[in-house]
Amino acid sequence: MAKHAVLSSGAKMWRSMSCVKSELRLDLTLACGQSFRWRETAEGHWTGVMGGRVWTLTQTDDTLWYHVYTNKERDDKKKVGVSLQEENWTQKKCEGALIQEEGEPSPINAKHDDVEMEMLRDYFQLHVKLQDLYKEWGSADCHFKKIADIFTGVRMLRQDPTECLFSFICTSNNHISRIQGMVERLCQALGTPLCQLDHTSYYDFPTISTLADSSVEGCLRDLGFGYRARFLQQSARQILDTHGLQWLEGLRKVPYLEARDALRTLPGVGTKVADCVCLMSLDKSEAVPIDTHVWQIAKRDYKYAAKNGQKTLTDKLHKEISDFFRELWGPYAGWAHSVLFCADLKKFQSLKESTHLKQPKKEEEEKEQCRKTNIKRELDGSGTNTKTRSECQKKAKLSVKKEMVT
């Protein structure tokens, strides 16, 4: 049986590209709740499904290493004429690539390798210079600067819109580990088998056509999805009947608010889920998803006070808080938000605590700097700062321009 690849077993099975950890940290980016398909299968090795393929990723200080598994089970099905899901452009470009037996080194195939490298660059949006953004955010926000010294390399993924949407419909009243289990069961029940490694089977994400079938709701209820089962099936059916298969990807080309409002017409999609999909799959870097967790960050770390002492997160309050962060961080506000969200997760608290123990003097210096620059923000009901801005905040304009992937 094929096993999960490990870099120490031999680098000739792997491909690589230059990428320093300050631009990408796999352990933070893949485990902070953006995608639910990645697992750490060996120390520092992450295995998951992306673009209809199974990958294992790992990294050294200045290099990103990747191994893509062959798809023997899928190829066997093709031989007997079993119909499969539609393949995306990345898969089509790889048609005709040589398939090796599991465990054998793949031949150097320039075309194949170029496509896989481009898939990774697109998925991690490596054209965006994260270190430059961190510097800009740190200049505008002293609290961010303190967090950024610990949580470097948190990038925003550019996921498949279908997978992102239907995964985030599962997030309602849920937590990351349980969402991961639900998404895995969804793929096992309705997705195309890809391969098996160390007794673990990997599946592609189901298509919209598959999810729209009338039998899906009952199937997912049996798998423990509860009320979310209906939302998943009905949203898929509405997209198929009203918009068509290309609609979701087409939302990448429309303005942020138009895309968000379009998503909100789907069953089970509120403002927070719509913003997550906009940010994590539709190229809307200004989208700032707000949930109670982010609201607590705003109140605790930015002295945000809602008008009239609101105690529930309404759409109006969602807009006020997200506008506040957009004004502070600029056009990549959603990316900055993901860094603070990651830093506040319980699973990463040990990283924060161990780093603070090593740098007590530096932390005190930063606190004193923030005190001297008067980082207190008093907000009116619209979320706009009405008091004198600190020197840090006056530097909030971003000069970074996003290069869209064509």
Q: What angle do CA 353, 321, 331 make, to 5 degrees?
A: 85
Phi, psi of 50 (to 5 degrees): -155, 130
Contact 107, 15 (CB under 8 A): no
Question: Of 12, 92, 111, 272, which one is the catalytic site residue?
Answer: 272
Contact 154, 25 (CB under 8 A): yes
Q: What angle do CA 17, 19, 21 make, to 5 degrees?
A: 145
What is the Cα–Cα distance from 84 to 93, expressed in whole angstroms?
Answer: 17
What is the Cα–Cα distance from 164 to 178, expressed in whole angstroms?
Answer: 16
Strands (E), 122-264: 193-197, 200-203
**How are strands ordered across the β-sheet holding 15-18?**
15-18, 63-68, 53-60, 45-50, 39-42
Residue 54 pairs in a beta bridge with 49
Phi, psi of 125 (to 5 degrees): 50, 50
Share of the chain residues as helix, strand and coil, in percent rounded to the nearest 5:
50, 10, 40
Burial label, 156 (beta-carbon count in 10 A; 0-12, 13-18, 19+)? buried
What does the block give as tokens for 371? 């005190």
Residue 59 pairs in a beta bridge with 64
Helices (H), 197-314: 208-211, 216-222, 228-238, 247-250, 256-263, 271-281, 292-302
**Amino acid, res. 223:** L
| 272 is a catalytic site residue | yes
Nearest to 99 by CA among 65, 69, 67, 55: 69
Contact 276, 283 (CB under 8 A): no
Residue 60 pairs in a beta bridge with 63
Residues classed as catalytic: 272
